[in-house]
Amino acid sequence: MIPWLAGRPAFPPVDCALAKPNGLLAAGGELSPHWLLEAYRHGIFPWFSDGEPILWWSPAPRLVLLPGDIRISRSLRKRLRRGEFEVRLDTAFAEVVAGCAAPRSGSAGTWITTAMQAAYGVMHELGYAHSVECWQAGELVGGLYGMAVGRVFFGESMFARVTDASKVALAHLARLLELSDYAVIDCQMTTAHLQSLGAREISRADFSACLARWTREGAPPCKWTSDAIAALAWD
């Protein structure tokens, strides 16, 4: 059994999370900014489908990517040098989230529900949630979004309508965060794709210890501007 949360965001210790399903910690609560910030600062995130209560997770091990450790293949580096995409920050947040929520081949549904889209839209307006967008000929063709709290970026989802668009977005994000002194990108659940890009697993205890420091450091929340990535070089 997992606890039902109500009233205020008082999450149980993350080491109480279930092993099966991996990381399920609690249910209930709200998707308000106060709840979401308290959750992320403790390595907890919401993940549920339509018709379910809000479910809160803290999986173990945790997949993370150090910004300077991203692996950029030779072919991707060539694409970055050619500037095949116009990369922007925070100019189409809702559209990126909708792109991530769109049906995908082999998937029966999405966890990015209408309620989730609205909640992260509020966090975007508050300067916590951000999008990295890839454009071609004035059309949004890929990108990613996530939450920035302190010196940690919590990646939520990415999508691509053109080959390598999401990888280009991630490469720009990692370079931007490295230059901005961010400590880590949280990738949440382990996937072979993210591991191939340099992400690695750490224990829940190590991740929690890092968050205790890193989410309390760094610049205050604000909107990101595309000027921050305009001068990035891909030698």
The 10s digit of each residue's pLDDT in 200-209 is 999 999 999 9
The 10s digit of each residue's pLDDT in 46-91 is 999 988 999 999 999 999 999 999 999 999 999 999 999 999 999 9
Q: How far is CA 119 from the centre of its chain?
A: 14
For residues 137 and 101, the answer to whether their CB atoms sit within 8 Å is: no
How far, in Å, CA of 177 to CA of 228, rounded? Answer: 10
CATH number for the region 4-61 comes to 3.30.70.3550
CATH number for the region 63-230 comes to 3.40.630.70
Domain boundaries defined on the chain: 4-61, 63-230
The 10s digit of each residue's pLDDT in 183-194 is 999 999 999 999
The enclosing H or E element of 87 equals strand 86-89
pTM value is 0.95
For residues 6 and 29, the answer to whether their CB atoms sit within 8 Å is: yes
Mean pLDDT on 110-131: 95
**Residue 57 main-chain phi, psi, to 5 deg:** -130, 150
